[in-house]
Structure 1
């Protein structure tokens, strides 16, 4: 059936607007708001001065983190190249069947955050870093001031939520056993 000329443009416009609104989301990109969950690696062992693994307390904290994020719409997990961050991230990644993607611990926080912001539009993204990198990463993600992190602080979790308008908010919480001063 051929439409009269005067109806062609409105019908094409309608079809184009419907098609543009029908974008599909990948299974790993839910329509939930974007939240970055940024933590320091869990407690480390003394087995290697350069690249220690997690202690028993650290492994327990990593399991608690996985349980805390069990129902989150997790889309990605990032951890530095060190064993302690990878081991902290692994239980969360395993729970959600997503890989742990390594990032360079000494990379510029602003560049790393910019890459993550470009790569993710929705869902929850876990980032595991170090006491000397987490505050800078959080600041770069939220565009706000953050408190420094003490070397024996393992229980801080920073939630950076990015709204639909692109504005970020920061909420700092605690998880697992309290860190000892």
Structure 2
């Protein structure tokens, strides 16, 4: 009985994180190099693949930037899950703090850019020593907010 009481107290004392799992991707392949391009056919296919991979992952929030390439990458998953994507804060430290402060304990998807994804992962407390090439669109970063430090898994989709 004492064992169960201690376990219960430990669980109550454990810090609850905003999102237990944060999925972070760069937008899918863009149509062209204009300021705000849509997705190419390959990009649209990749967005569908992302939705297929994450539809059962417990995603309860989706964050995108003001650019349609991030919005179109998230759109298939948002439609399947019935979620309205929210805009990220341009201040990545502030945005990461928001993610860490919310106590919903769900999973979230963030669709960013090659220059923002590594910085967001760093802001969530994970040391990053990699960059995303301009030609790279298939990296899926999974950040599990665990104690004593976040754990990161990188997959390709």
Match of 2:105 among 103, 113, 122: 122
Question: Taking structure 1 as reference, are residues 146 and 108 closer, same or farther at Cα in structure 2, changes over 3 Å only?
Answer: farther
1:152 pairs with 2:135: yes
Give 1:25-174 correspondences, 5 Å limit: 34-46=20-32, 49-104=34-89, 107-163=90-146, 165=147, 167-174=149-156
Q: CA RMSD in A?
A: 1.7
The alignment's TM-score, normalised by the length of structure 1, stands at: 0.72
Q: Give the aligned length.
A: 140
SS in 2 for 1:36: strand
The alignment's TM-score, normalised by the length of structure 2, stands at: 0.83
The structure with more radius of gyration: 1
How far 1:158 sits from its partner (Å)? 0.5
Question: Taking structure 1 as reference, are residues 161 and 52 closer, same or farther at Cα in structure 2, changes over 3 Å only?
Answer: same
- For structure 2, the 5+ residue unaligned runs are 1-11, 13-18
Is contact 2:51–2:77 with CA below 8 Å preserved after alignment?
Answer: yes
Partners of 2:92 and 2:119 lie apart in 1 by 6
Superimposed CA distance per residue, residues 139-177 of structure 1 (whole angstroms, 9 cap, x where no aligned partner): 1113322411111100001100012x36311111110xx
Structure 1 moving runs of 4+ over 4 Å? none
